[in-house]
Amino acid sequence: MKRPPAWPIHAALCVVSFFMLLPFYWVLKTSLTGENIFAYPPSLLPVAPHPFFYVDVWYYIPFVRYFLNSVIVSAMVVAANVILNAMAAYALTRGFRGRKLVILLLLSCMMIPFQTTLIPAYLLTGKLGILNTYLGLALPMFSTIVCIFVFKASFDAVPRSLVDAARIDGLAEWRIIWKIMLPLSTSAVATNVILSFIWSWNNFLWPLVVTRDPLLQTLPLGLARFLSYHENTTGALYAFCILVLAPGILLFLLAQKEFIRGLTSGATKG
Amino acid sequence: MDHAAAGPALRAPARPGARAGAKRRREAALAWLLLAPALAVFLLYRIIPLGWNAILSLQEWSPFKPAVWVGLDHYREMLTEDPTFWEALANTLWFTASAPVGIAIALGIALLVNTDVRGRDVYRTFVFISYPLMTVAVGIIWRWMLDERVGLFNYALRSVGLIEQPIPFLQSFELALPSVIVANIWQIVGFYMIILLTGLQTIPRNLYEAAAIDGASARQQFFRITLPLLRPSLFLCFVIGVMSSFTSFDLVYVMTNGGPGHSSELLVTYLYKAGFEMTRFDYAAALTVVQFALLVALTWIGNKASGGDAGAVERG
Amino acid sequence: MKTPRPWLAAALAVLALALAAGPAAAQKKLSFLTWNISDQKDLFDLWIAEFRKLRPDVEVEWLDKKGPEWPAFYQTQVVAGTPPDIINTQGGLWLEYAAAGGLADLTPYLKKDADVRARFNADYLANWTYDGKNYMLPFYVNKTLLFYNKTMFKEAGLAGPPKSFDELVQYAQKMSKGDKSGFLTMNFDWLYWPLFKMNGVELLTPDLKKAAFNTPQAVKVVEALAKATQGGGINKIAWTGRWVEPNGAFAAGNVGMLHAHSPAFFFVRGQAPWINPDTLGAVNAPGGWATPNSHGLGISKGSKNPDIAWEFLKMVTSDKWTLEFSNRRKVLTGNVKSDTATIAAMRKDDPLAAQVLQTQLEQTDKLTGNWRIAVDSRVKEAFYPELQNALLGRKTAKEALDEAERKVNRALARQ
């Protein structure tokens, strides 16, 4: 098979990368120099960079506490998502009466913006008695519809013959999911993990409303401390943003190999 | 194939029809059981709140006063006396219409990154890095980049001599919404990319090999193999794009707050303001119901257009 | 059977102690929610410590939320039945709550503690009255004033700040040349209203039930402002910017006048090294008219301990603590004694800031743009976009005012 030449691909990707990185570069630069972004003309290179804004972040807010809270909540959310979403997606690959209805229902549920559910969600969480708790923080995000469909798309690609053979062998359904579907869908698992982590990690409005105890606050809530008063966007604000960003990127880097072509596509051959 | 002869778990049934019926019921019970936990979460945190909104939209209520039934009053006001609603609606539709642009760009990137080119891990990370960034941060930095006086874009364009006067991106009635849309696409492209990459993994390599042997060109392979088999992922991206008009709430809030005027007001920012700034939760509830109906309609149409099974394709 | 007497005695002793300590150890909880002031954590820690001394049986919880999220948080808590006892609001938001019965009436408390009432500047305190009742105490106060760039004034040959609306527009036009413009104003929360009031335009009828601004005089004002905006005398950002853009433009030194409330001064100065008493002037707007944009402290209706909350309010608005607050944040608190002392102390180290803050205490009988209507935010929504249309040339003044009148009356009718 004729391989396409590499250099046009590199060129295109370089252009794309430039535009994608440009704003990010500015966030990073300002976090290291703390320069006034309203000065004109903007300076392209960092002037006198220093890491002390990152230190500031540690002082302005109880960073370790918030970080730990975010880790606990996100861990719960990621674990729950992989389990619940895989189960739900597997169910949707089977034929049963009402399947189309459930799919439409799920698609419709996606169209409910969180801002409109704030008050009833709060009241329900109160009724469940889990306000101001880790579970209360994590529960609304235990399953996400987008991720169910990511799994479903992957599971649909597994040949029915494989599944049927396993059932003939007497394998219980949950073992089928665990031993057959998931190993063949590592890319979907990675996507689930990354997305549910990011959404949980960056979630701002729900933790704002559901936690009263300052020791239970998650990392994004610390943002208010840097945006307070006069909208002075200082180096500390940008340092904070980079610190919040870091774990998501780290997770993505760790999951890189799941996106490598060829790891899973061969195995689906009958 | 006759399964009756296999394994002790299956007994010879009285009639073939009964066996099939029992099997179907067992299938269904199992499916519902597997769906139950996820559905429970959605019931609690999406369906019941939607119901709360629907009921509230027919009442007059505030956090400090008991409710009074007013029927379709709010809907009437919305449709006949509220030009801001129509403007927000139009803006939301524009926002949704921009989704295919973002998806197309992401598809291009995904295909490029999916080849065996060296350093693709690096490129992939570069593209994805925008997505986990807090939307508030995205809003702040783009607001600066597009600033008329001190922004990077105007500086660059003026330095190169392309324009004389600075362009008031976020201060202009015409350019405010497109500016927000561009910022949104910048952030979401990474997201689309990994959905599409996951989808590309499900396409067996041997299909391409077979097609190449048959003499199909790269273009034909793309349109005959890649695109159809990517349908579920593309459909997913489309749905996310539709959803994006309200998940971009933070972006609009920080960049323009719906302004100037209401030229960048989205339905979701308008309903937030109605609820929390003007304390009109009942009116906000009515807006919620209308927005929900609109987006669901769009999604259902998209679902039908892509085959009806969330875009799923028949596999061997 | 021999009873193990030492154990029994010990057990009884512990029981007795527990019962004795019981009622006295019951902790009451007081929570207070502030608006975007998390940088003052140290001050609040001091308040809480002091209050603990006054009332050891009360545990105080401090919460702070940023502006856009504050209403979301507060209203969710209200619906859930757990509103913070004391709240700090900015601008006109308190009106919605007061009109709906969400705030406790402070009038009886002020009657009982007349010395507390006497602490405050009566005009600022009156800002938070609705239907004849007091609903809030001043936390920190400010109102609009006119800043002017003395260098640009000199260049244009202007002797001093404008004394009338016509002069203002004239001067603005004179100073606009190329990149430079003559006038900027804040446009949120009715902060631009003094421009109308100084021309005798009223927004509403005295009974606050109908629009009263659609007059020939108002049309003339809008036309003058629109003409100046088209001509570059008034910078367009005045009508389209929020906070950062107008202040930033003035800080860059290209705008002759800025009509804003006092916090703008500190923001601008942070970005403008050229600012000193020779280059920046601060005076009241022509006619002395100003829109207040203050922060108030109130008690939620749903509070379980309103009397304790009142004690807390008394403490934080005392001379001692208002002076401390002013020291830390360079604001005025509405407490007359403290404010006078603060400005006097400031004259030595920071005469320009003292001058700015001095304007905040002058002509407080000329406050405008603060109508006590429950639907304030809706009226704002109804009025400003139309005004914006006229000022930016998208509609004629008459068209815009007609449309605004219709919308405002509709908003008022829904009260």
Q: What is the pLDDT of residue B1?
A: 40
**CATH no. for C144-291+375-414:** 3.40.190.10
Cβ of C100 and B168 within 8 Å? Answer: no
State yes or no: pLDDT of A270 exceeds 60: no
In chain B, positions 271-300, which contact chain A (CB-CB < 8 Å)?
A: 271-272, 275, 281, 284-285, 288, 291-292, 295-296, 299-300
Is residue B310 within 8 angstroms of chain A, CB to CB?
yes
When CB atoms are compared, the residue of C96, C100, C240 closest to B260 is C240
- Selecting from B81, B173, B277 the residue whose C-beta is nearest the C-beta of C71 gives B277
Report the side by side order of strands in the sheet with C144-149: C181-185, C255-261, C144-149, C280-283
Taking 3-state DSSP, the helix, strand and coil percentages for chain A, each rounded to the nearest 5, stand at 75, 0, 25
Q: Report chain C's C-alpha Rg in angstroms.
A: 25
| Geometric angle at alpha carbon C107, from C103 and C108, rounded to 5° | 110
Helix axes A235-254, B135-145, angle to 10 degrees: 120
Q: Which residue has the tokens 């509609």?
A: C395
Q: Is the pLDDT of residue A48 over 90?
A: no
| Shortest distance, CA C322 to any CA of chain B (angstroms) | 29
- In order, the DSSP letters of A218-246 are -GGGGHHHHSHHHH---HHHHHHHHHHHH
What gap in Å lies between CA C246 and CA C238, rounded to an integer? 6
- Is C144-291+375-414 in the same CATH topology as C27-141+293-360? yes
**Rounded Cα gap, residues C357 and B30, in angstroms:** 72
Confidence of residue C100 (pLDDT cuts 50, 70, 90): confident
Tell me which chain C residue has its CA closest to the CA of residue B166: C179
For residue range A57-109, list pLDDT tens digits in order: 888 888 999 999 999 999 999 999 999 999 999 999 887 888 888 998 998 89
Q: Is C164 helix (H, G, I), strand (E, B) or coil?
A: coil
Tokens of C361: 């205490």
Which of B62, B81, B84 is facing C410, going by the closest CB pair? B81
Nearest by Cα to B87 from B171, B173, B179: B173
CB B170 within 8 A of CB B178: no
B247: nearest CA partner in chain A: A113
Give yes or no for residue A116 having a pLDDT over 70.
yes
CB atoms within 10 A of CB B311: 25
Question: In angstroms, what separates the C-alpha of A246 from chain B's closest C-alpha?
Answer: 9
CA distance C181 to chain B (A): 13
Structure tokens at B25: 């019921």
> C66: distance to nearest CA of chain A, Å?
6
d(CA C247, CA A35): 18
pLDDT for res B245: 80
The verdict on a CB contact (< 8 Å) between A198 and B131 is yes
Q: Is C75 on the interface with B (CB under 8 A)?
A: yes
Residues of chain B with pLDDT > 90: what percent?
39
Q: Please answer yes or no on whether C38 and A225 come within 8 Å at the CB atom.
A: yes
- Say if residue B98 is exposed, middle or buried (CB neighbours under 10 Å; 0-12, 13-18, 19+): buried
Q: What is the pLDDT of residue C26?
A: 62
Task: Say how far apart CA A19 and CA A42 lie, in whole Å.
Answer: 18
For C241, which of B171, B262, B278 is closest by C-beta distance?
A: B171
Largest CA distance in chain C: 109
Which among A87, A113, A157 is the nearest to B315, CB-wise? A157
Q: What's at C191, amino acid-wise? A: L
Closest chain C residue to B253, measured at CA: C68
Mutate to test the interface with A, among C30, C35, C36, C186 (most CBs of A within 10 A): C36
ipTM of the complex: 0.87
Mutate: best of A14, A103, A112, partner B, most B CBs <10 A: A112
| Partners of residue A90 in chain B, C-beta under 8 Å | 34
User: In percent, how much of chain B has pLDDT > 70?
Assistant: 91
Q: Do you know the residue count of chain B?
A: 316
DSSP letters, A139-200, are GGGS--HHHHHHHHHHHHTS-HHHHHHHHHTT--HHHHIIIIIHHHTHHHHHHHHHHHHHHH
| Crossing angle between the packed helical segments A99-109 and A63-93, to the nearest 10 degrees | 150
Hey, is the C-beta of B250 within 8 angstroms of any chain A C-beta? Answer: yes
Burial label for C414, CB within 10 Å (0-12, 13-18, 19+), is exposed
For residues B179 and B146, the answer to whether their CB atoms sit within 8 Å is yes
- Residue C382 and residue B84: Cα distance in Å, rounded? 10
Q: Which of residues 74-133 of B touch C (CB under 8 A)?
A: 81, 84
- Kindly list the residues from chain A whose CB atom is less than 8 angstroms away from the CB atom of residue C266: 230
Mean pLDDT for chain A overall: 85
pLDDT digits (tens, 9 = 90+) for C37-61: 988 989 999 999 999 999 999 999 9
What is the arithmetic mean of pLDDT over A12-31? 91
Q: Does C236 touch chain B (CB under 8 A)?
A: yes
Q: What pLDDT sits at residue A260?
A: 53
**Rounded distance between C-alpha atoms, residue B30 and residue C168, angstroms:** 77
Name residue A72's amino acid. I
Residue B8: Cβ within 10 Å count: 6
In chain C, whose CA is at the least distance from the CA of A204? Answer: C69
The pLDDT assigned to C15 comes to 56
- Residues 6 or more apart whose CB falls under 8 angstroms from that of B58 comprise B69, B70, B71, B72, B74
Q: Which helix (H) or strand (E) holds A123?
A: helix A114-127
Check CB contact under 8 Å for A119 and B240. Answer: no
Show which of residues 4-33 on chain A sit within 8 Å of chain B, judged by CB atoms. Answer: 4, 6, 9-10, 12-13, 16-17, 19-24, 26-27
Predicted pLDDT at B8? 47
Q: Does C27-141+293-360 carry CATH code 3.40.570.10?
A: no
Q: Output the pLDDT for position C218.
A: 95
> How far is residue B114 from each of residues A25, A131, C151, measured CA to CA in Å?
25, 44, 61
Partner C contacted by B259 (CB < 8 A) = yes
* Stated pTM of the model: 0.88
Residue type, C410: R
pLDDT value at residue A16: 93
Report which of residues C186 and A230 the model is more confident about.
Answer: C186
Quick one: pLDDT at residue C23?
Answer: 44
Of C71, C78, C394, the CB nearest to B64: C78
Residue B9 has a pLDDT of: 46
Inter-chain CB proximity B276 and C72 less than 8 Å: yes
Using CA coordinates, name the residue in chain A closest to B273: A115
Q: How large is the average pLDDT for residues B234-247?
A: 87
- Mean pLDDT for B93-114 is 92
Say what percent of chain A tops pLDDT 90: 40
Residues 49-68 of B with CB under 8 A from A: 49-50, 52-53
Q: What is the pLDDT, as a whole number, of residue C6? A: 63
Which residues in chain B have their CB less than 8 angstroms from residue A188's CB?
198
What share of chain C in percent tops pLDDT 70? 94
Q: Domain spans of chain A?
A: 49-158+186-265
CA dihedral (A76, A77, A80, A86) positive or negative: negative
**Which chains sit next to B, with 3 or more Cβ pairs under 8 A?**
A, C
Give the pLDDT confidence of A153-207 residue by residue, as tens digits. Answer: 888 888 888 888 888 887 777 788 888 888 888 888 988 999 999 999 999 899 9
Angle at CA of residue A102, ends A127 and A258, nearest 5°: 95
pLDDT at B13 over 60: no
For the cut 80, the answer to whether the pLDDT of residue C16 exceeds it is: no
CA distance A59 to A53: 10
What is the spatial distance between Cα A64 and Cα A219, in angstroms, rounded to a whole number? 9
Closest CA to B243 of A81, C352, A69, A108: A108
The CATH architecture one would assign to domain A49-158+186-265 is: Orthogonal Bundle (1.10)
Distance CA C195, CA C167 (A): 12
Mutation for C interface: A37, A116, A212, A216, most C CBs within 10 A: A212
Chain B residues whose beta carbon lies within 8 Å of the beta carbon of residue A198: 131-132
Answer whether A104 touches C (CB < 8 Å): no
Q: How confident is the model at residue C34 (pLDDT cuts 50, 70, 90)?
A: very high
pLDDT attached to residue B215: 84
Nearest to C79 among B63, B81, B168 (CB): B63
3-state class percentages of chain C: helix first, strand second, coil last, to nearest 5: 50, 15, 30
What is the tens place of the pLDDT at every residue in A195-230? Answer: 999 999 999 899 999 998 888 999 998 887 787 555
The string of pLDDT tens digits covering residues B198-240 is 888 778 888 888 888 888 888 888 888 888 888 888 988 998 8
Give A172: exposed, middle or buried? Use CB within 10 Å, 0-12, 13-18, 19+: exposed
Two tokens at B55?
A: 């009921």
* Mutation to test the B interface, candidates C70, C240, C392, most B Cβ within 10 Å: C240
Flag whether residue A208 sits within 8 Å of chain B, measured between CB atoms.
Answer: no
Q: Which of A85, A262, A265 sits opposite B38 (nearest CB)?
A: A85
Closest C-alpha to B249, from B61, B128, B91, B83: B91
User: Which amino acid, A209?
Assistant: V
Nearest CB to C271 within list A36, A119, A122: A36
Which chains touch C (3+ CB pairs under 8 A)?
A, B
Q: Is B63–C102 a contact, with Cβ atoms under 8 angstroms apart?
A: yes
Gap from C79 CA to chain A (nearest CA, Å)? 8
Q: With beta carbons under 8 A apart, name residues in chain A contacting C248.
A: 38
